[in-house]
Amino acid sequence: MELKVTCILAAALLLALGTLAQEQAETCDMHPQERRNCGWPGVKARECREKGCCFDDTVRGFPWCFHPLAVNQEEECLF
């Protein structure tokens, strides 16, 4: 019985680690034309960031609260 529990825990750990390795990084550094709205009129910076979004109110005519841009991270093999 203990062997089954150990195997299940090991499989769950490997699955979790694999999921983490596949996640993409995100950036708020993008052209204003790439912004996809994530907020509402009058949203505050704190409220926007609490939603996991980016906030930049320096560019008029484009969303101030916007979704971050996914960045593909390609791992380099150093060996």
From residue 65, how far is each of 2, 9, 31 by CA, in Å? 50, 40, 14
Tens digit of each residue's pLDDT (9 = 90 or more) over 53-75: 999 999 999 999 999 998 875 55
pLDDT for res 63: 96
At the topology level of CATH, where does 2-71 sit?
Spasmolytic Protein; domain 1 (4.10.110)
Partner residues linked to 65 by β-bridges = 55
pLDDT for res 8: 58
Domain ranges of the chain: 2-71
Low-confidence ranges of the chain (pLDDT < 70): 1, 3-24, 73-79
